[in-house]
Amino acid sequence: MNLKQFARSLLLTTAVVTLFATRVLSQDSESSSVDLSKASTNNRSSTQFASLGSKTPQVKPITEIRRLSQIEHLSQSARMLLVQSPTQLNTPSAQVVQVTGVKANPSKSGLELILQTSRGQQLQLVNRSAGKNFIVDIPSAQLRLPSGDGFTFRSTAPIAGVSEITVTNFNANTIRVTVIGKGKLPTVELFDSANEGLIFSVASTTPVAQQVRPSTQKPQTQQPNGQTQSTQQSSTGDEAIELVVRGEQDNYRVPDSTTATKTDTPQRDIPQAIQVVPRQVLQDEQITRVGDAVRNVSGVQQASSGPRSTFDRFYFRGFENENDGVLRNGLRDRIGSRVPSETANIERIEVLKGPGSVLYGQGILGGAINLITKQPLSNPFYAIEGTFGNFDYYRGAVDLSGPLNADKTLLYRLNAAVESSGTFIDFFDTQRYFISPVLSWQIDKNTKLTLEAEYLDNKQQDDNGLPAVGTVLPNPNGKIPLNRNVNEPSDKDNRTVLRVGYNLEHRFSENWQIRNAFQSTFSNVDQRLTAITGLDADNRTLKREFLFDSRGSTSTNTYTMDTYVVGKFKTGSIQHQLVTGFDLFRQTDFTPNAVYSSQAALDLFNPVYGLPQGPVTGRYDGGVISQALGIYIQDQITFADNLKLLLGGRFDLVNQKQQDFVASTTSFQQDQAFTPRVGIVYQPIQPISLYASYGQAFQQNFGTTLDNRLFTPERGTQYEVGVKADLSKQISATLAFYDLTRSNVLVTDPNNQNYSIVTGEQRSRGIELDVAGEILPGWNIIAAYAYTDAIVTRDTTFAVGNQLNNIPQNSFSVWTTYSLPKGDLKGLGFGFGLFYVGDRQGDLDNTFQLPSYLRTDAALFYKRKNFRVALNIKNLFDIKYFESSSGNLSVYPGSPLTVQGTIRWEF
């Protein structure tokens, strides 16, 4: 059976199974729902909570919320708690309700906390109050706010008698609301509003009429950056104080992620290292390229970096993922490693460390970057931003979102950016145009469709760097100026990318759902490139070749579809969360009429450009077609609250066809592979997770040996142990130890230098530490350290023990900001960053090194209400450093002192 027949059979089988499951599970959903307020139809009805002891009696679940006029005396209604037994909560019932907004409004009695849901969705509650803490769990519900999945709402000392209010995702299926009283359990009243959602009214111990100045009362609403901020002021006596309710997504800590499991899982429950760079870090550091963002993550380096990079390729734990290191919303995005990145529509960046082939297919050996895009908001939001800086840098961006109909089932978001910039390199300019519309449709309470597109047009040159001799090595002619461009002024490397896709989610019941996602990407490259072929013995004359004069642009098109089911069930007392599905992938690359010709040599110290081009030396006209089918299954098993097991496996069938239309040749190769993963998490105490894992990855090696045997796929095997710790409610850390081996590496055949054999091996061992969160109110930090020992362990050309190129043994980064939380200078903030990269080998033969460097960044910003102004300084002390190298002819200098100012207005 070939790949196409197999795919058709699988699709047919999946369709039958899905149809059957839909009928059975839909019946389960219809017959198992228990609504908190099925009798509530007016604007608000209520039930009241009173001060309780630590021993709370179990009460029947409430099926009706009474109106205000029906509330009994406080001592009587205290018995009417919204409580369900734990066994009731674990039964398949209503769908998981999404809380899409959080508001905190002043009220006559104190403060109203509003949990916003879609019209018609109801919430169940269970009371877990103890001592002076009012605690309510809301099962079958999750915070799904615009700022991201890992949002925590927090208010410190909002009113008299209350020290703190928090709303957070307690686990993957429960929201917890906590009101901490001062000395005794606070009095809380519950309202259910058809228009607003679920409302907790928290009573103050001091009459609010004496506290609040009515003329300054304004509601606090959830913002797209995850921040809620009050402009209300209150006073006790003559002393005025401010009521501040702050969402925690301005915190750098993101406790949940989806990349490692394809489910919303707390990072502390995942037996693999993951680091998330949230939107707030991108804004504070003024990051517009993904390569700059991963400086904040341990064990990740950009392969060919600097301000001139036309693509994003990365080293993960010592190994480069050339084409498969980038995901977009959980879908493989091979073109993402071939075009410049743009962060205008990126909500956060999730970095998975270690093998990811079990869920995403071939190529993800050392790790992957998953770009999570911004999604539509239920409330109107508009933002405009402008940035300017040295090297003629100008950038403008807009972010628009809101509902398109009255019931907010149809939402949109539109991000757009325009950028024009020079660089410190001679005649090297960039122009960029970007737009990304998103449309989401809540078809019904169980089904949601999201349509997403983006278009990027990037115009610039390619960058060949500079030779090692004269930059990092001595040159008798002196130092080569770092602004020297070895290309021709007429060179170009213009790239356009169009992505179009959808995401369809349907929930059969509380415990079962299906997701089908598709993305097609169309890329065109218009190139005229100069290639460097050597350096003469005089150490100044650079040999060059004109590599492309494309009579038609190079095109790359990809098509990715992923369909999987997520189900929760029990076997006795053991809980399971199952993920199983399949994905299909197809990529076509065609380069028509590529021309090779000789090019005049260039004097590095006295360059003359524009000399006549030499005669044509060769042509190429051909293409490559790659296809893949993967079937995977994963089970997240919970034996106890503190003991979890992750099991997964995947079967892949991949093929590739290469065509050379000039030589009239075609070659075809098909391979198959099975990749497993297993991991365990043990939590001796709640804030600490100890984990261990084993995983594999693979990559197709295309070609044949001297005796005409097909290459076997490259393999990756990793063992990892680590500790994840919540150092406080606002800051977390991950410490990982790993051993990663890359085998079946193509190396030169010693019997014939024109052929290769698959006997090579490389190994990387290391320690990684990542810390992120809020140290004190207003003081955020994201920090990373990595020790990486990546060496050659078997090769026919390079010596065993050679270090892998571009991989420092030691590297660390720290970025921290502090903003004044109150007073006349409230909103004023400062940022400071250090980025250290140790010595690295410049090539695999270890003939030269790139020196270590310590780069210092700084920021000054001020935010007041909807206005923000910032000044970012990169490379504060204007040090000379080198980012990376692709050999002794191409060393890439880092950017000098860069200053950028930004003005942002939200309305």
Q: What is the average per-residue pLDDT within 607-615?
A: 90
Write down the pLDDT at residue 222: 40
Indicate whether 16 pLDDT > 70.
no
Average pLDDT over residues 646-654: 96
Question: What gap in Å lies between CA 491 and CA 48, rounded to an integer?
Answer: 73
Whether the per-residue pLDDT at 831 is higher than 50: the answer is yes
For the stretch 367-376, pLDDT in tens is 999 999 999 9
Q: Which has more confidence, 412 or 85?
A: 412
Instruction: Decide: helix, strand or coil at residue 93.
Output: coil
Q: In degrees rounded to 5, what are phi and psi of residue 357?
A: -65, -25
For residues 364 and 334, the answer to whether their CB atoms sit within 8 Å is no
Q: pLDDT tens across 705-728, in order?
A: 877 788 889 999 999 999 999 998
pLDDT for the residue numbered 550: 55
Across the range 12-41, mean pLDDT stands at: 38
Residue 221 pLDDT greater than 50, yes or no: no
pLDDT for the residue numbered 202: 76
Residue whose C-alpha is closest to residue 370's, from 335, 316, 321, 326: 326
Look at strands 44-49 and 174-181 and give their pairing: unpaired
Give me the residues paired with residue 217 across strands. none
- For residue 374, which phi and psi values (nearest 5 degrees)? -65, 140
What's the pLDDT band for 246 if we cut at 50, 70, 90?
A: very low
Six-digit token pair at 50? 């009173």
Q: Distance between CA 761 and CA 742 in Å, rounded?
A: 6
Give the residues across from 821 on adjacent strands: none
Contact 786, 768 (CB under 8 A): yes
Please tell me the predicted confidence (pLDDT) of residue 683. Answer: 96
Residue 556, beta-bridge partner list: 523, 589
Write the CB contacts of 631 (distance below 8 Å, at least 6 apart in sequence).
Answer: 10, 581, 582, 650, 651
Q: What pLDDT is stored for residue 703 in this prediction? A: 85
pLDDT at 118: 61
Contact call for residues 859 and 286 (beta carbons, < 8 A) = yes
The proportion of the chain whose per-residue pLDDT surpasses 90, expressed as a percent, equals: 54
pLDDT over 50 (residue 392) = yes
Q: Is the pLDDT of residue 96 over 90?
A: no
Question: DSSP label at 133?
Answer: E
Is the pLDDT score of 15 beyond 90? no
Helix (H) or strand (E) holding 4: helix 3-30
- At residue 54, the pLDDT reads 34
Grade residue 229 by pLDDT with cuts at 50, 70 and 90.
Answer: very low
3-class SS shares of the chain: helix, strand, coil, % to 5:
10, 55, 35
Is the separation of the CB atoms in 577 and 567 below 8 Å?
yes
Burial (Cβ within 10 Å: 0-12, 13-18, ≥19) of residue 613: middle
Q: Determine the average pLDDT of the residues in 557-570.
A: 96
Looking at residue 499, what is its pLDDT?
A: 96
Tell how strand 898-906 and strand 44-49 pair up. Answer: unpaired
Q: Give the N- to C-terminal CA distance of the chain in Å, as an integer.
A: 58
Q: What percent of the chain has pLDDT over 70?
A: 80
Q: What is the structure's pLDDT at 426?
A: 93
Q: What is the DSSP string of 161-183?
A: TEEEEEEEEEETTEEEEEEEESS
Q: Is the pLDDT of residue 161 over 90?
A: no
Rounded Cα distance between 895 and 883, Å, is: 9
Mean pLDDT of the chain: 81
Average pLDDT over residues 813-835: 94
pLDDT of residue 309: 67
Predicted local confidence at residue 735, as pLDDT = 98
pLDDT of the residue at 133 = 80
User: Quick one: which H or E segment has residue 831?
Assistant: strand 828-837
Amino acid letter, 581: G
- 532 close to 485: Cβ distance less than 8 angstroms: no
Residue that has been written with the tokens 């070659």 in this structure:
667
pLDDT band at residue 98 under the 50/70/90 scheme: confident
For the segment 430-488, what is each residue's pLDDT rounded down to a tens digit? Answer: 999 999 999 999 999 999 999 999 999 999 988 889 999 999 999 999 999 999 999 99
Three-point CA angle 169, 173, 175, nearest 5°: 35
Is the pLDDT assigned to residue 189 strictly greater than 50?
yes
The band of 164, judged by pLDDT with boundaries at 50, 70 and 90, is confident
Phi, psi of 19 (to 5 degrees): -60, -45
Question: How confident is the model at residue 193, as a pLDDT?
Answer: 60
Note the pLDDT tens digit of each residue in 505-545.
999 998 999 999 999 999 998 888 888 999 999 999 999 99
If one compares 157 and 251, the residue with the highest pLDDT of the two is 251
User: Quick one: pLDDT at residue 172?
Assistant: 65
Please give the Cα distance from 41 to 45 (Å, whole number). Answer: 9
Select from 392, 437, 430, 388 the least CA-distant residue to 412: 437
Checking if the pLDDT of 638 tops 50, the result is yes
Q: Which residues contact 604 (CB under 8 A, 6 or more apart)?
A: 466, 467, 470, 477, 480, 484, 486, 540, 541, 542
Rounded CA gap, 779 and 820, in Å?
Answer: 9
Token output for 404: 């398109």
At residue 107 the predicted structure's pLDDT band, cuts being 50, 70 and 90, is confident
- State how far the Cα of 467 lies from the Cα of 168, in Å rounded to an integer: 54
Question: How does 20-55 read in b/e, with b if 16+ C-beta sit within 10 Å?
Answer: eeeeebbeebeeebbbbbeebeeebbbbbbbebeee
Q: Is 60 exceeded by the pLDDT of residue 230?
A: no
- Residue 27 clears pLDDT 80, i.e. is over it: no
Could you tell me if residue 70 is left (phi over 0), alpha (psi between -120 and 50 degrees) or otherwise beta? alpha
Q: Is the pLDDT of residue 37 over 50?
A: no
The predicted pLDDT at position 174 comes to 82
Residue 43: helix, strand or coil by DSSP?
coil
Using alpha carbons, select from 107, 135, 136 the residue that is nearest to residue 243: 107
**780-810: pLDDT as tens digits:** 999 999 999 999 999 999 999 999 999 999 9
Helix (H) or strand (E) holding 21: helix 3-30
Which is more confidently placed, 637 or 188? 637
Highest mean pLDDT among 152-166, 742-756, 882-896: 882-896
Q: What is the pLDDT of residues 173-183, one digit of tens each?
A: 788 888 887 76
The verdict on pTM exceeding 0.85 is: no
Higher pLDDT, 99 or 897: 897
pLDDT exceeds cutoff 90 at 212: no
Minimum mean pLDDT range among 147-156, 469-478, 579-588, 619-628: 147-156
The residue among 127, 137, 141, 126 whose CA lies nearest residue 172 is: 141
246-268: average pLDDT: 80
d(CA 270, CA 255): 11
Which pLDDT score is estimated for 26?
41
pLDDT confidence tier of residue 36, bands split at 50, 70 and 90:
very low
